[in-house]
Amino acid sequence: MAGSPPEALPRELIDEPGGGALFGILAEGLADRFESRLCDVYARLFAGGIAAVSPLGSAAELVARYERTRRPRMVAADPRRVFVLSRVTLGADVAVTSVLLDATKRRFPNAGIFFVGPRKNYELFAGDERIGHLAVNYGRGSLAERLMVCDDLRTALDVPDALVLDPDSRLTQLGLVPVCGEDHYHLFESRSYGGETARTLPELAADWAAETLGVSGARPYLALPEPPLRHGGIAVSLGVGENPAKRIQDPFEEELLRLLSGHGRPLWIDRGAGGEEAARVRRAAERAGVAASFWNGSFAGFASIIAGSGLYVGYDSAGQHVAAAAGVPFASIFAGFPVPRMFERWRPAGPGGRVIRVDRPHPDYVLEQVRGCLPM
C-alpha cells in the first residue's frame, strides 16, 4: 500500500494458518482503498498465489484474462440462463449483487436467472420467483481451500447459452479465477469502477448494469420468503464482522440502547454470529437495564425484522443495506474506515436514512449524533 509491494505472496500467507491474514488483512486492505493501482497489485500477487497452489493457469495467463474481462462491454447475446455470482458477504449481496439481479430480470425476461452462492445469502431473494438458486459453499481457510469450489463452478457455469455476471465475487477471487469462457463472462470490478468519484457501490453497480446490460435505474432490493410483519419497533445490530475498528468504545453501546429504549418502541436486537459478539450485546443490554427481544436465527429472519421496523440503528454492517433497500429509516454508525473513499463507496442511501461518519470515535460525540437522527 505504501508503494513497495513484494514480488510474490509469502508462502506463510498462502498456507495455513496464514489464510486469515491473507484475506482479512492483505486482500481486504488492498480492496478497501478502491484504487486502480492496488487492483493491479492484488491481481499480480494473487494470480501468483493461485498458480502456485492450483492448475487453473499460470500467473501471466490469469492476469492477462483479468485485464481483458475487467473492461466493461455490452452483452449482445440472449442467453437461456444467467448466473449472478454472490459476493459471499451478506451486505455486499444486498448493496451490489441485488442491483445486478434487478437489471438482469428486466433485461432478460425469458431467461432462467440463478443466484450462485451460499444458502444464507440466497434467502434474501428466495421470495422472488424469478431467482433460482445454485448452491455453493465457499470455504474459509487457506487459498487452496478457498479454490476448491472452482471445479464445481466451472461445471455448472461453463455451459451453452449461458451468461455469467461477476460482481467482484470472492468465489472467483475478485475475477481472477476462470469459471467459464470469456465470451459469456462479465466482471464488474467494483474496486476501480467509478475512479475518483464519491459515488456509492449501489450507484456504481447501476451504472455498470446500464453500460453492460443496457438497463437504467437498477436498484438494490430484497425478496424475503415471507412478507415482513410490521411491528414498528427499533431494530438494532451491534455486529462488526470481526472488525473491532467499527466499534465505538464502552460505554457507548449500553448508552445507545438506553437512549433508544427511551422512545417507547420495542427493541429487537440481533445477537449476530454468536460467541463473544452475542455475549457483548447481551451485556450491553443488561448494563443499560432495557427490555429487548433478541434475534438468534438466520440473517434473513433478522432482515425481515428490519424490514418491518420503524427504525434501524447499527454499525456499518449488512443491516444498514437491508434497511436502505427496504425503505426503512436508519441511523448507520460508520467508523473504522481506512480511507474516505471506502466510506463513500459503502455508505447506504435510503429514504429517511442518515449515515453518521465517525472520524472522532468518542462515545459522547457519536451518541449525540445518533440522538439527532431519532424522531422527536
Q: Which domains does the chain have, with CATH numbers?
A: 11-67 (no CATH), 81-213 (3.40.50.2000), 234-371 (3.40.50.2000)
Mean of all residue pLDDT scores within the chain: 95
Q: Give the sign of the dihedral formed by CA 333, CA 335, CA 339, CA 340.
A: positive
With 80 as the cut, is the pLDDT of residue 133 above it?
yes
CA 272 to mean position of chain CA atoms:
16
Q: Given this model, what pLDDT does residue 323 score? A: 97
* pLDDT exceeds cutoff 80 at 273: no
> What share of the chain in percent tops pLDDT 70?
100
Torsion of CA 113, 319, 302, 93, to 10 degrees: 20
Q: Is 199 a residue whose pLDDT tops 90?
A: yes
Q: Is the pLDDT score of 376 beyond 70?
A: no
Place 344 in a pLDDT band, splitting at 50, 70 and 90. very high
β partners of residue 322 = none
Please report the pLDDT score of residue 328 as a whole number: 96
The grid coordinates of residue 313 equal 440503528
Task: State the Cα angle at 288 between 272 and 366, rounded to 5°.
Answer: 75
59: cell is 500467473
pTM of the model: 0.96
Predicted local distance difference test score (pLDDT) of residue 349 = 86
85-89, 214-218, 228-232: lowest mean pLDDT where?
228-232
The arithmetic mean of pLDDT across residues 324-351, rounded, is 95
